[in-house]
Structure 1
Amino acid sequence: MAGNPVTDAPLREVRRAVYRPVREGNALEDTVARLVQTIRLGVVAPGESLPPERELATRYGVSRDTVREAIRELADTGYLVRRRGRYGGTFVALPLPRPAEPVSVPLDELEDVLGLRRVIEAGAARAAAGRALEPEARADLWSRHEAATAAAEGDYRRADTLLHLTIAELAGIPSLVALAAENRARVNAWLDTFPLLPRNIEHSNEQHESIVAAILAGRPDAAETAILEHLAGSEALLRGFLA
């Protein structure tokens, strides 16, 4: 297999992507959006705490007042919980709020997001399979697969997301990780509007094993084919529930 060995810590690039500086001009809105992305991707799990306000302000390149206002907005809508005292801080709500009404997504918007997802994730799987992965990276990829397989229903989508983002990281293209994170956050917002299906979870885990095995075996064609077959299943559900 060609390419440079993977040496970055697991999900390091994902964390860089979700905590990168926001754009000037819409600091509050972009900070809210970045925090929501962090929640929907499961970078911070329900019940866990966000980094301190000072750290968030530094990472986003905004004032602490902007961070506080963004946190206040998300606390008011049920996504975050603020606690005072020795073990206080800002925590992701457990459970997260769910939409009160069914969601309908315009077909052109749905197809645009899903089409981009196919390009990003198939390319990431192919690139990861073509690299010389360090033992630590190989072990982490397999452990992400095992975590998804063992996950309880309430934590399954988070474990699934972290597996897919790990594959994006192993592609060795940092800018791809930011695109994958943004795209996955949009998809997760839609997936969270309808229930998990037990048979679909079982099938998804079988497909995950095929994807991971192809990457670890250094078979780019097989990795790409396996992940496209996997994505087709969730695409069918998304179209059925939302379009």
Structure 2
Amino acid sequence: MDPTDIGFIPVGPRRTFEGAVEQIAERVRLGELSAGDRLPSERDLAAAMQISRPTLREAVRVLADAGVLRVRPGSAGGTFVASSYVPIELLRSKSDLRLGEVAGVLEARRLIEPRVAQLAAVNAREDDFAHLARLIEAQKALLDEGDVLAHEDHFLQLDTQFHVRIARATGNSTIVSLMRTLLRRLEIARDLALHEPPTAPWVIDIHERTLAAIRSADHDRIDEVMDEHLAAMERAWERATDRMLVRPIPDFMLPVAARSRDQRSSRTPAR
């Protein structure tokens, strides 16, 4: 596995140990590394992050102690992902976003993510659809356990992975990189401003309808389901903060239903 394929970058001179832990943890949390996957070799991974091999070993040890990685000795060994679930506490940068920036994150999501889903509909392969379906089934399994709140972070992590996989289905590495950044900040936004738990059956339902819309390659249908999906978090943020997102917004960012009404009105002849 080439470490650059899943976005490993230089850690930099400051906080190298914490940065290495965070990068590996984030790749697992975003679903770009799954349980059973083998990490790049120690030499390649340390070179990609531009850190020393002892620093990388210490980061791997911390992640192994947390149950995220497993180190297998021997000629057929290596470092493997032991669990697809990563506790949010391992991502130390989650406090970097200020409350006032959350509105910008939500507006950026509305601008970008529906177009990402539409491009995914054009380029997605069958294994992309299968992976999205598996993520939905994993959420259903948590719901079937009876207490989603006890597994809330895991449930939300699967939600994030669902959206990352849509981005990967576009086949565009620039879009994947943009969506990684946006989704990481969305997780922070949820921590900062949204204090109500997600309604698990609704999340599962909207994911199923999103998958069906992308499979259909019907761009109007994708717009409709993505509008509903995005509006839920926007309304929750507005309720939590007693603030409104910026209005008016450009026509291409309006909800589909409102845009359709406006178009129909413009076609109605004057009497």
TM over 0.5: yes
Question: Following superposition, which runs of at least 4 residues in structure 1 exceed 4 angstroms of deviation?
Answer: 12-15, 23-27, 42-45, 47-50, 68-72, 78-95, 192-196, 238-243
Using the TM superposition, name which of 116-125 and 231-240 deviates more: 231-240
Using the TM superposition, name which of 181-190 and 53-62 deviates more: 53-62
Of 93, 96, 110, which aligns to 2:87? 96
Shift, 1:217, TM fit:
0.6
Shift, 1:32, TM fit:
5.0
Shift, 1:57, TM fit:
1.0
Match of residue 56 from structure 2: 67
Counterpart residue identity of residue 22, structure 1? P
Instruction: Output the TM-score relative to the length of structure 2.
Output: 0.61
Shift, 1:215, TM fit:
0.7
Shift, 1:180, TM fit:
0.7
Report the identity percentage.
26
Whole-Å separation in 2 of the counterparts to 1:156 and 1:55: 32
Contact 2:164–2:176 under 8 Å retained in 1: yes
Q: Runs of 5+ in structure 1 lacking a partner?
A: 1-11
Match of residue 132 from structure 2: 141
Counterpart residue identity of residue 164, structure 1? H
Give the secondary structure class of the aligned counterpart of 2:187. helix
Distance 1:116 1:37, change over 3 A: farther
Match of residue 251 from structure 2: none
Does residue 1:220 correspond to 2:209, yes or no? no
Counterpart residue identity of residue 137, structure 1? D
Does residue 1:112 correspond to 2:100, yes or no? no
Give the secondary structure class of the aligned counterpart of 2:87. coil
Instruction: Output the TM-score relative to the length of structure 1.
Output: 0.67
- Where do 1:161-200 residues align within 5 Å? 161-191=160-190, 197=197, 200=199
Distance 1:14 1:202, change over 3 A: farther
Whole-Å separation in 2 of the counterparts to 1:120 and 1:173: 14
Whole-Å separation in 1 of the counterparts to 2:221 and 2:2: 25
Contact 1:207–1:226 under 8 Å retained in 2: yes
Shift, 1:66, TM fit:
4.1
Whole-Å separation in 1 of the counterparts to 2:124 and 2:88: 38
Does residue 1:124 correspond to 2:116, yes or no? yes
Summarize deviations over 1:45-85 as a string: whole Å, max 9, x none.
7x98983644431332433244346568x77xx96788888
Match of residue 4 from structure 1: none
Distance 1:98 1:144, change over 3 A: closer
Distance 1:234 1:84, change over 3 A: same
Whole-Å separation in 2 of the counterparts to 1:184 and 1:216: 22
Contact 2:102–2:189 under 8 Å retained in 1: no
Counterpart residue identity of residue 229, structure 2? H
Distance 1:210 1:24, change over 3 A: same
Summarize deviations over 1:104-135 as a string: whole Å, max 9, x none.
96443111222222233212111112x15433
Give the secondary structure class of the aligned counterpart of 2:114. helix
Whole-Å separation in 2 of the counterparts to 1:17 and 1:83: 19
Which structure has more RCO (C-alpha within 8 Å, separation ≥ 6)?
1
Q: Runs of 5+ in structure 2 lacking a partner?
A: 243-271
- Where do 1:17-36 residues align within 5 Å? 17-19=6-8, 21-22=9-10, 28=16, 31=20, 33-36=22-25
Q: CA RMSD in A?
A: 4.3
Counterpart residue identity of residue 139, structure 1? A
Contact 1:138–1:216 under 8 Å retained in 2: yes
